[in-house]
Structure formats: C-alpha cells, structure tokens
Structure 1
Amino acid sequence: MDSNTLYYSLDLVSGIGYTLNGEQRAALQTSLLLLKKNYKFTRVMFWGKILGIKDDYFIAQGKGDDELKDKKFLYSFNCMEWHLLPPADDRMVGEVSRAAKGRFTGDPSYEYTASPLQREGDEASEEVVATKLTEERRLAVTVHLIDEEASVVPRGAFNRTHLGLMQTNRCFEGLSHAEAGKLEHFLHFAKPKKLKKKFIQELADLDPSIDFLDSLNDDIPNGQWSLQLENAGRVCVIRSLLWLGMTFYHVPMTPQHGYVYMGDGCKNLDLPFML
C-alpha cells in the first residue's frame, strides 16, 4: 500500500487480525519518505510484515519508472533502519524450497542447509554438495514469491505506455460497485504467464493498453481467492487462501486500492485438499 495513504489503508484491512501500533505507523510515515528520497524511488510502498519467532520483518517496496520491472524490496526490524534485499533468481528459489522449512527465526544471519541433489547420469550418479543459505536470502525469495503469486490490482489501475512502460493510470477512477463484486475485474500485479495461452477469440475482447496482466479468475485451483464487500458494501476486500495474510482492498468509484501481507511467510500447500 502506498506510503502516502498508509494510515487510511491500514484501517481498511484491519479485519485480517494483524495491524501496526501507533509507534510503528509514525515511524513508517517518516522513514518511507526518507527511503524514497535516498534511493530515488518514484513511489514507496509498505509491502507488509513477516512474523518471526525472535523478531518480525517489516518489508517496504520501492518503485522506479516501470511499476512492474523496476522494483526493489527492503526490510527492517524497527521501521526506521532499512536493509536492501538481494534480487531473487531461479537458483535461489530452488535452494530455499529444499532447505527452508517452518517459521522464520527473525535472525537474517541464521543459516539453513540445503539437502544435496542426486542427479542420475548415463553410467553413474553425480552428487551435488550441500549448500547453505542465510535467512536473508530466504526472506528475499519468500517476498518475491508472494509478490508474484498474490499481489493484486484492479483492472485499469495501470496502463502500458507507447514505450512499453507500465505506469499508474491517472485516468482510473475506480471500478463500479457491480464490477468490484466480480473476481474477473482484478489482475495479478506480476509478469503475465497465462495471457499468451488464451484463444484468439478471448484476446479480441481485451484492451491491450490495460489488459496485459493475468486475471485472478483464471487461477488454478479455482477458489483460492475470497472476495467480500465490507463496511456496508463500501470496500471490496480480497484475501488469498494460498498465501494466508495477503489482503487487497479497493474502494469502488475511487482510485484507492492497495494490498498488504501480514503472515508467517509459509505457503498453504494444503489448499487443494481444503477446497
């Protein structure tokens, strides 16, 4: 959620059970502005909080000229001092999936040991030496995966310019109340994966300037999103059942929208059996 509307946005998603106290809100209000200036970000977002056993990680996200590609993540323990997270790649994702289990400890220097892979060759098997990774790297991968799989924006909130950059749509005035009640009008705020697989007939009905992201309605398994209209129907709230703690809000007929994650950073792998 945008740092400029942090107080207002946190109140709209307070139904998740997790929130920030007054001291943390005041610290974020100041430190995020300094973060934007020091790193020369176009926008700074409060991404959320990952709960740890010893300490909690507060996560911020900085944006560049391209809202989708130019983004960096930072973490803090006191909402004042921020540390840059390393970018996550496929190799890091594989190491974390093999090594990191259970809750975060809250210590970024804590080391996990990745179990060695067993690769079978033509004649003999080749064993890969076990590798170690810090919790800071696990945090970077977890934040990356949650942002790729569970970040949400309303349709039309962002457009693609003639230079190919994805930027905030200044003409966006919000979804109608009828549109806000349907999951098909909300999109993944990540690089599209399913859009190219659509049939030509389906692509013909899309507007290329705003329909360049995957729809939540196409996600498998079906039913991993919970959409509700709260505050007497004045606020649309979408919760992810795959990443418990990810909450999106949108106020219909206004450009106000955002999302925040507050959870333990563990994926709900039992979801297919719960639906």
Structure 2
Amino acid sequence: MAIECLSYSYSLNCVEWSLLPPATEEMITQTAGLKGRFQGDPSYEYEPPEKKGEENERIYEEEGIPMIKEEIRLVTTIDQIDKAVGMIPRGAFIKTPIGPVHENRNFEGLSLTEAKKLNSYFHFTEPVNLKNRTLLEKADLDPSIDFLDSLEHDIPKGSWSIQLERGGSLVILRSLLWPGLTFYHIPRTKQYGYIYLGTGEKNIDLPFML
C-alpha cells in the first residue's frame, strides 16, 4: 500500500523554517531510550543511551558512539507520534484496486452518529491489526475504504477521549497516550485535522491509570 509521505519543518521564531529529514531505522535505533523533555535547541547533543551487555559495552568504549543531536530526536519523535496517533475519518481516503491510496473527492464528512464512534477513525499509516483479522471479521469491510487500522482496536483500551462540542457541531478526539494530540472533525463536512501541542513525551503509565 502506498501512502503519501509528508514533510516536516521546525522553527525557533515562527519566521524562519528548517526542513527536517525523514526518519530512518538508524535514527530510530539511535534515539531509542532517550527520555526527558526537549531543550529547544536543535544542535543540543544527548549522550547515547547506555548499551547493556559486556560485548556492547566493549564496542561502546572502543569505538565511541557519536552524540545524538536534538534535531534527530525531534525527527524520530514526530515519526512516533504520527504512526501512533496520526489519523483520518473513515472514507476520507480511498484505495484503488491496483494499490495506490489517494484523497476521496466524494468524501462529505461523517454523520453525527458515525462521528461519535471510535471505529469511524483510522490510523493514517501502514495497517498492522487489519492483517491479523480473520476472513469472517473482514467480510463486512469495504476494501476501498476499510484498508487501515481502526482506533477502536488500540491498546490500551480507553486511550482515546471523544467529546462533542458546540452543540454537537464539532467532534474532538484527544489521545491519552500522547498528551497534547487533539483531532477535530466537523460532521457532514470535509473539515478535519489534528494538532500536537505537547512535550514530546509518551504517557507510558497510561495502562496503570485506566
């Protein structure tokens, strides 16, 4: 399945912007284990997380692992957030019989009834749970629009909050796993989107809080 890749930029003054490189497996491996809040300086350098095991410690000492810049950590954090909580309403994108995915020009928004259901929203990334579902479970799915993972199957259960605002004319979803992620959709319209205003820290204690 081909999903269009997005580009990201950052700014220190909201006037000048710098383009971030796409996340790579090497970057993700390098930054795994880094904790704490960001410093706000893309050139700030973190010490690599400690490597466990005698062999890894020997390599670490002899070869010397380079410091990790905050810019790289920002890249991988954005990648984590997008993969975990980046989403779209059901039907906003369609998959053609030959594979490519593109925006559905006929999408007119979810009805108010649909907009209140968690299964009306999909993760906008390569599906994982969908591949593990049985043929019986897939029988009622429309392959042209139900080709992504639904939020209703997210673990832990209860990691999303759905609220109706402005008398039901606006639906808001908030992630409890990544505090600061807010998605909005105006039912019966094409208007939807999400924004993240947070510290870049995942709430790893959520399973014990629910």
With normalisation by structure 2, the TM-score equals: 0.91
Pairwise CA RMSD: 1.5
1:105 to 25, 39, 48: 39
2:131 to 196, 210, 234: 196
In structure 2, list runs of 5 or more residues that go unmatched.
none
Tell me, yes or no, if the aligned pair for 2:44 and 2:70 is still in contact at 8 Å: yes
**Rounded Cα–Cα distance in structure 1 between residues aligned with 2:154 and 2:49:** 31
- 1:273 aligns with 208
- Residue 88 of structure 1 deviates from its aligned partner by 1.3
- Residue 101 of structure 1 deviates from its aligned partner by 1.9
- Of stretches 102-111 and 70-79 in structure 1, the one that deviates more from structure 2 is 70-79
What letter corresponds to residue 103 of structure 1 in structure 2?
R
What letter corresponds to residue 110 of structure 1 in structure 2?
Y
**Rounded Cα–Cα distance in structure 2 between residues aligned with 1:179 and 1:170:** 19
Does 2:151 correspond to 1:233? no
- Residue 269 of structure 1 deviates from its aligned partner by 0.8
1:134 to 40, 58, 69: 69
In structure 1, list runs of 5 or more residues that go unmatched.
1-65
- 2:152 aligns with 217
- Matches of residues 25-174 of structure 1 in structure 2 within 5 Å? 68-98=3-33, 100-119=34-53, 125-127=55-57, 128-129=59-60, 130-174=65-109
Tell me, yes or no, if the aligned pair for 1:246 and 1:263 is still in contact at 8 Å: yes
- Residue 163 of structure 1 deviates from its aligned partner by 4.5
- Residue 211 of structure 1 deviates from its aligned partner by 0.8
**Which secondary structure does the structure 1 equivalent of 2:194 belong to?**
strand
- Of stretches 236-245 and 70-79 in structure 1, the one that deviates more from structure 2 is 70-79
**Rounded Cα–Cα distance in structure 1 between residues aligned with 2:177 and 2:49:** 26
**Which secondary structure does the structure 2 equivalent of 1:253 belong to?**
coil
- Matches of residues 14-25 of structure 1 in structure 2 within 5 Å? none
- Pick the structure with more strand per residue: 1
Tell me, yes or no, if the aligned pair for 1:153 and 1:186 is still in contact at 8 Å: yes
**Rounded Cα–Cα distance in structure 1 between residues aligned with 2:136 and 2:168:** 34
